[in-house]
Structure 1
Amino acid sequence: MFRPVLNLARALGLRAGRCPVCASVMADGSRTLCPACAGELPLRTGGLCPACGGMSGREEDPPTLCPECRLDPPPWDRLYFHGRYTGLLRELILGYKFRDRFDRDRLLGALGVAAFEARGGLVPDAVVPVPLHGRRLAWRGFNQSLEIARGLARHLDRPLLVHGLTRTRNTPPQTRFGLRERQANIKGAFAADPALVRGRRLLLVDDVYTTGSTLNECARTLLRAGCTGLDVLVLARTQREPTESI
């Protein structure tokens, strides 16, 4: 399962001779992930719902719509993600977001590319990141979703709409709330620029899918502004019933 990940570092021009995760020296001087780290970053391609990413059954099972998405489909067509939000993937994301591990940005971008290509992603007209409010951006110093989207847009040779979607309210962090509270907290918190998104099929990018509340609100905002359809890409997907804050 981890073979598609092995050459990600080489594809993105990461430092030769060392694993970009654990920095162990590669005997052949290659730019690939070492086998141990690659084995901890499995690319999930089966046993999942292609709309919401819910994981069930065996990994070798083909993607199949879950009952919830059959009855109430999300406002996007397909969800792409690299793997479950656990283990090394979780550590990489948290280190990048909160511990200034900016050396991991190209690797995380490569994981997003791998997830998109493994599922035969439809190339969009443009790529849109989930935005941060200006105050949150000033506190954190960067938007991790924008940086992941930047790598995808470059790889796909598509425009990156940095201002296609903006955050109009500085909402409390979603980690404080349950599902219904998250939905209420995020409602009306975004605005889309019709001049940028109208008539385009978009790829909406974020780092982690938890309950889907933020992505749902972003997607509906973009659709109201006139985009013709969209897919969503995240690096990681939590369990259906999240038990931890992110």
Structure 2
Amino acid sequence: MFRPVRNLARRLGLRAGRCAVCSAILADGGRSLCAACAQSLPLRTGGLCPACGEMSGREADPPSLCPECRHDPPPWDELYFHGQYAGVLRGLILGYKFHNRFERNRLLAALAVAAFSARPARAPDAVVPVPLHDRRLVWRGFNQSLEIARGLARHVDRPLLVHGLTRTRNTPPQTRFGLKERQANIKGAFAADPALVKGRRLLLVDDVYTTGSTLRECARTLKRAGSKGVDVLVLARAQREPTGPL
């Protein structure tokens, strides 16, 4: 289960000699993750809804649309993710975003590639990251979704549309709100460039799917600008509201 992640991490150039997660010294210098950390990052491939990522039933079960997505499909076709937003994966993402653990970028890109490669996937025409507002970008110093999307765009050999989608309003963090408030908070917060996205099937990339409000608004914005289709990839899918920051 963990070998594809380890091999992808090696191909993406992660530092050999120490585990990229726990910094343990590795007996095999060709590895990038120790066995324990690799096993703690399982790739979820079954027992999930391929549209929204809701996890239910046995992991061995094939992907199947959940009742909610049958009744009210999201504004994208497929959602790819590596695993549940919990444990080691959650810690990796939070450390990367909020504690300057930028050396984890290549590992997270490898996890994104593994998620996209695990199920039959249509190659997109281009890759689009969920953008940050300029003020948030200055505060954080980088856009984690953009950096993850870079590695994915290289893997699928498609252009990365850095300016395909922009954030036009500096909205308060979504973690402050419930579902309805999140939807209202994010409405109209994005703009897409028709010259870049029109007529293209796009892969929209973010780090975490919580309620899906931000991704839904982004996908609708891209479709209004003329995109012929949208798929979504995130590193992690939350099953319930997390207690920490996103």
TM-score (norm 1): 0.97
User: Is it true that 1:244 corresponds to 2:243 in the alignment?
Assistant: yes
Shift of 1:180: 0.2
Flag structure 2 segments of 5+ consecutive residues without an equivalent: none
The code of the aligned residue for 2:156 comes to L
Match of 1:107 in 2: 107
Match of 1:234 in 2: 234
User: Is it true that 1:27 corresponds to 2:31 in the alignment?
Assistant: no
Match of 2:81, SS state, is: strand
Match of 2:180 in 1: 180
Match of 2:236, SS state, is: strand
Flag structure 1 segments of 5+ consecutive residues without an equivalent: none
Which residues of 2 match residues 14-93 of structure 1 at below 5 A? 14-93=14-93
Question: Higher mean Cα deviation, 133-142 or 4-13?
Answer: 4-13
User: Is it true that 1:219 corresponds to 2:226 in the alignment?
Assistant: no
The code of the aligned residue for 1:176 comes to R
- Distance in 2 (alpha carbons) for counterparts of 1:83 and 1:202: 22
The code of the aligned residue for 2:95 comes to G
Shift of 1:209: 0.1
Match of 2:12 in 1: 12
- Distance in 1 (alpha carbons) for counterparts of 2:154 and 2:190: 25
- Distance in 1 (alpha carbons) for counterparts of 2:52 and 2:185: 21
Which residues of 2 match residues 81-230 of structure 1 at below 5 A? 81-230=81-230
- Distance in 2 (alpha carbons) for counterparts of 1:243 and 1:206: 17
- Distance in 2 (alpha carbons) for counterparts of 1:5 and 1:144: 19
Shift of 1:31: 2.5
- Distance in 1 (alpha carbons) for counterparts of 2:58 and 2:3: 18
The code of the aligned residue for 2:79 comes to L
Could you report, residue by residue, the CA deviation over 1:140-188 in whole angstroms, capped at 9, with x for unpaired residues? 1110000001111111111000000000011100000000000000000
Shift of 1:28: 2.4
Shift of 1:21: 1.4
Moved over 6 A (4+): none
**Contact kept? 1:4, 1:43, Cα under 8 Å:** no
- Distance in 1 (alpha carbons) for counterparts of 2:4 and 2:70: 30
- Distance in 1 (alpha carbons) for counterparts of 2:14 and 2:48: 31
**Contact kept? 1:9, 1:20, Cα under 8 Å:** no
Question: Identity rate of aligned residues, in percent?
Answer: 80
Match of 2:128, SS state, is: strand
- Distance in 2 (alpha carbons) for counterparts of 1:46 and 1:37: 21
The code of the aligned residue for 1:242 comes to E
Shift of 1:243: 4.4
- Distance in 1 (alpha carbons) for counterparts of 2:102 and 2:225: 33
Could you report, residue by residue, the CA deviation over 1:77-136 in whole angstroms, capped at 9, with x for unpaired residues? 000000000000000000000000000000000000000001122110000000001111
**Contact kept? 1:18, 1:30, Cα under 8 Å:** no
- Distance in 2 (alpha carbons) for counterparts of 1:5 and 1:156: 17
- Distance in 1 (alpha carbons) for counterparts of 2:16 and 2:138: 34
- Distance in 1 (alpha carbons) for counterparts of 2:174 and 2:42: 27
Match of 1:207, SS state, is: strand
- Distance in 2 (alpha carbons) for counterparts of 1:208 and 1:243: 11
Could you report, residue by residue, the CA deviation over 1:198-222 in whole angstroms, capped at 9, with x for unpaired residues? 0000000000000000000000000
Question: Higher mean Cα deviation, 43-52 or 119-128?
Answer: 119-128
